[in-house]
């Protein structure tokens, strides 16, 4: 496992999400309620990037069919999504948002 810098902490406002690519993986990094979160960026329903969606009530909402995923657990919050997205550990270090990722995992 390794920590990867993905964004300047001050550059992310509350309820803002950005898409980043680390070791070939699409990851959505967002801030909500002053906390930072990192999840798989590809919706598990059909293809859409969650970083094009919105943050609301502790969830990220897919821009295509409005499927919602819990920011902390990645679990779906109801139809049409039924499969979770991955979640990653996040910390802020030296003003940068860092995401922990196993580069060897599929």
Q: Site residues (CB under 6 A) for ligand FES?
A: 43, 45-46, 48, 62, 64-65, 67, 80-81
Q: Which is nearer to ligand FES, 7 or 81 (CB)?
A: 81
**Which contacts qualify for 87-91: CB closer than 8 Å, 24 or more apart?**
87/37, 87/38, 87/39, 87/40, 88/27, 88/38, 88/39, 89/38, 90/29, 90/36, 90/37, 90/38, 91/3
Shortest distance, position 47 Cβ to ligand FES, whole Å: 6
Shortest distance, position 92 Cβ to ligand FES, whole Å: 29
Q: Which is nearer to ligand FES, 45 or 96 (CB)?
A: 45
Shortest distance, position 98 Cβ to ligand FES, whole Å: 27
Shortest distance, position 67 Cβ to ligand FES, whole Å: 3
29 alpha-carbon distance from chain centroid: 4
Q: Which is nearer to ligand FES, 7 or 67 (CB)?
A: 67
């Amino acid at each position: 496992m390794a920590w990867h810098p993905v964004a300047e902490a001050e550059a992310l406002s509350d309820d803002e999400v950005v898409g980043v690519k680390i070791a070939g993986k699409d990851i959505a990094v967002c801030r909500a309620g002053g906390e930072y979160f990192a999840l798989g960026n590809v919706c598990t329903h059909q293809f859409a990037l969650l970083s094009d969606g919105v943050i609301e009530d502790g969830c990220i909402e897919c821009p295509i069919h409005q499927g919602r995923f819990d920011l902390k657990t990645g679990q779906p919050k109801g139809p049409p999504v039924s499969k979770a997205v991955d979640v990653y550990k996040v910390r802020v270090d030296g003003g940068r948002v860092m995401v922990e990722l196993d580069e060897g995992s599929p």
